[in-house]
């Protein structure tokens, strides 16, 4: 019989274990070297990189073997990858990751459990349920385990709207699907609109409500919108509130919105993809007060919870609403399993085969503890505030948003641009800093004007790091 370790499927069975160890060590060494190097981006041009990558034969007749494939991946991918752990890699809600989540990935990968049925993930299913129960506790939801890990905020928002629609169709039979709309703010994440399209609604079924200057939904306008819908014989099947908008980190007034939702008997979904991290803050938890009134909640752990991608959750307040979407199949999750107390999480998810991403958050919470998590969150918010104050005191810059979480939007003050094209200058600076590997700044638009953005998720980023960057921008612009 052929030695199984020579088949290329290296990690199979006891024979593969030694080879697994050897190769994993090599992979870890390459990863550690890359981390140690720390360059944010090596500045290679897209043309050179494309040439290198397209040069590699993707359909070799004979494979090159694991070691060589690993070396190639390091040389062509890792070497030119964006270093998310760099203190100024701050363009997006794209986080550095906890060591515990990286460690968890090793176990997740080798075990390769699938979360759909008990017989594919026995211990893992219970781990996931247990952590959902803990999250519900932190939210202030009734005890239980209604909720599931997802690929992220997009999927969680979709699930919220899917269940809300089914709920409405069941409980308000006088309305048909054509009468239904969803109401959210103009700053809501685009996945709300996208989910509506996936649910078979057209564009006009997403009704957006104006925001104040800070990016929070105007509650009186929301009230008016809900009243107006009635006169048009339309029915809102859900209100989506945002706890931390993607661009400016604005947090809607959830207490006030919950009251309106109650009054109009409308499902409230809270998109807390970003702001959900405040559940673990000491100083700023009050900013998301009212989240517990939501019928469903989106949480995203591959943002400020510092987990490796993918890692998110959907949490449903009343578990019996899960029956609106759950299905059973004889070959996967037969009714009898449930009667015998087995856990088949497929009934709670819109995915079938699914990763055990919950282990990452599980290990991070166990390892770091809620106290230190709170310190990390508070640190980032305090840092953002300090940066905002610094921008206010500088004649060179203009602060654009009021910082509510860790996002700081700013521009070069128009008086410093000396009639030069603002859009071009801001874009040029961001690109230059990226190519030099100094910083990754977001480029966005507020009130019609191009704006730079820092999303300060990294708890190791210091005020000095940011100040040096701002000084550098000032120097570059003055030199131009």
Binding mask 62-91 for ligand PLP (x = CB under 6 A): ------------------------------
442 binds ligand PLP (CB under 6 A): no
Tokens found for residue 62: 């004979």
Binding mask 293-322 for ligand PLP (x = CB under 6 A): -------x-----------x----------
SS3 track for 33-92: HHHHHCCCCCCCCHHHHHHHHHCCCCCCCCCCCHHHHHHHHHHHCHHHCCCCCCCCECCC
Query: How far is it, in rounded angstroms, from Cα 44 to Cα 431?
Result: 13
Tell me how far CA of residue 314 lies from CA of 14, 138, 318, 333, 375, in angstroms. 38, 14, 12, 21, 25
444 binds ligand PLP (CB under 6 A): no
H or E element: which one contains 454? strand 449-455
Which residue do the tokens 């709309």 mark?
181
H or E element: which one contains 478? helix 463-479
H or E element: which one contains 160? helix 153-171
Q: Which lies closer to ligand PLP via its Cβ, residue 185 or residue 333?
A: 185
Q: How many residues in total does the chain contain? A: 480
* Binding residue for ligand PLP, selected from 100, 120, 154, 440, defined by CB under 6 A: 154
> Which of these segments, 99-107, 137-145, 194-202, 267-275, binds ligand PLP (CB under 6 A)?
267-275
> Which of these segments, 68-76, 149-157, 330-338, 406-414, binds ligand PLP (CB under 6 A)?
149-157
242 binds ligand PLP (CB under 6 A): yes
Q: Which lies closer to ligand PLP via its Cβ, residue 315 or residue 343?
A: 315
Neighbour-count burial of 11, counting CB atoms closer than 10 A to its CB (0-12 exposed, 13-18 middle, 19+ buried): middle
274 binds ligand PLP (CB under 6 A): yes
**Angle formed by the axes of helices 99-111 and 358-393, to 10°?**
150
Tell the smallest beta-carbon distance from residue 303 to ligand PLP (Å): 6
Q: Which lies closer to ligand PLP via its Cβ, residue 181 or residue 272?
A: 272
191 binds ligand PLP (CB under 6 A): yes
> Under rule CB under 6 A, which residues in 169-188 are in contact with ligand PLP?
none
* Binding residue for ligand PLP, selected from 116, 128, 252, 271, defined by CB under 6 A: 271
* Binding residue for ligand PLP, selected from 189, 287, 317, 438, defined by CB under 6 A: 189
Query: How far is it, in rounded angstroms, from Cα 327 to Cα 330?
Result: 10
Binding mask 87-116 for ligand PLP (x = CB under 6 A): ------x-----------------------
H or E element: which one contains 299? strand 296-300
Tokens found for residue 309: 């991608």
Q: Which lies closer to ligand PLP via its Cβ, residue 237 or residue 305?
A: 305
Q: Which lies closer to ligand PLP via its Cβ, residue 114 or residue 242?
A: 242
Tell the smallest beta-carbon distance from residue 176 to ligand PLP (Å): 29
- Residue 238 DSSP SS3: strand
Query: How far is it, in rounded angstroms, from Cα 267 to Cα 169?
Result: 12
Tokens found for residue 319: 């578990």
Q: Which lies closer to ligand PLP via its Cβ, residue 273 or residue 477?
A: 273
- Count of positions on this chain that bind ligand PLP (CB under 6 A): 16
* The pairing of beta strand 449-455 with beta strand 407-412: antiparallel
Q: Which lies closer to ligand PLP via its Cβ, residue 273 or residue 384?
A: 273
The residue ranges that bind ligand PLP (CB under 6 A) are 93, 152-154, 157, 189, 191, 242, 244-246, 271, 273-274, 300, 312
């Amino acid at each position: 019989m052929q030695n199984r370790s020579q088949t290329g499927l290296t990690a199979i069975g006891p024979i593969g274990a030694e080879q697994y160890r050897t190769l994993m060590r090599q992979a870890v060494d390459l990863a550690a070297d890359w981390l140690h190097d720390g360059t944010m981006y090596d500045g290679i041009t897209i043309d050179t990189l494309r040439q290198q990558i397209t040069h590699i034969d993707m359909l070799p007749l004979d494979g090159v073997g694991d070691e060589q494939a690993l070396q190639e991946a390091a040389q062509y991918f890792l070497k030119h990858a964006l270093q998310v752990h760099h203190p100024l890699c701050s363009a997006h809600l794209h986080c550095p990751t906890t060591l515990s989540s990286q460690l968890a990935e090793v176990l997740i990968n080798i075990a390769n459990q699938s979360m759909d049925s008990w017989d594919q993930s026995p211990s893992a299913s219970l781990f996931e349920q247990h952590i959902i129960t803990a999250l519900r506790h932190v939210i202030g939801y009734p005890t239980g385990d209604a909720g599931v890990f997802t690929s992220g905020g997009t999927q969680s928002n979709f699930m919220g709207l899917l269940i809300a629609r089914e709920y409405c169709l069941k409980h308000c039979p006088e309305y048909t699907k054509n009468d239904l709309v969803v109401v959210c703010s103009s700053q809501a994440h685009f996945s709300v609109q996208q989910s509506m399209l996936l649910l078979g609604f057209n564009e006009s079924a997403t009704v957006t409500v104006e925001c104040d200057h800070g990016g929070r939904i105007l509650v009186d306008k929301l009230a008016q919108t809900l009243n107006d819908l009635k006169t048009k014989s339309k029915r809102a099947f859900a209100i989506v509130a945002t706890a931390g908008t993607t661009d400016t980190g604005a947090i809607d007034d959830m207490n006030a919105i919950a009251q309106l939702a109650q009054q109009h008997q409308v499902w409230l979904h809270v998109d807390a993809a970003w702001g959900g991290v405040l559940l673990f803050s000491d100083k700023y938890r009050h900013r998301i007060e009212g989240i517990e009134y939501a019928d469903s909640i989106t949480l995203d752990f591959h943002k400020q919870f510092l987990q490796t991608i993918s890692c998110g959750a959907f949490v449903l307040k009343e578990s019996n609403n899960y029956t609106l979407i759950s299905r059973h199949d004889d070959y996967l999750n037969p009714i009898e399993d449930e009667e015998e107390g087995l856990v088949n999480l497929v009934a709670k998810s819109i995915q079938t085969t699914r990763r055990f991403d919950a282990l990452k958050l599980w290990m991070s919470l166990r390892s770091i503890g809620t106290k230190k998590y709170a310190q990390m969150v508070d640190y980032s918010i305090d840092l953002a505030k300090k940066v905002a104050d610094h921008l206010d005191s500088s004649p060179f810059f203009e602060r654009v948003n009021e910082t509510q979480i860790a996002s700081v939007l700013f521009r070069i003050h128009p008086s410093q641009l000396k009639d030069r094209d603002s859009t071009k200058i801001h874009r040029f600076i961001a690109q230059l800093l990226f190519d030099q590997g100094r910083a990754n700044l977001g480029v966005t638009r507020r009130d019609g004007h191009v704006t730079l953005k820092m999303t300060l998720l990294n708890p190791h980023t210091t005020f000095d790091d940011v100040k040096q960057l701002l000084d550098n921008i000032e120097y570059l612009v003055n030199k131009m």
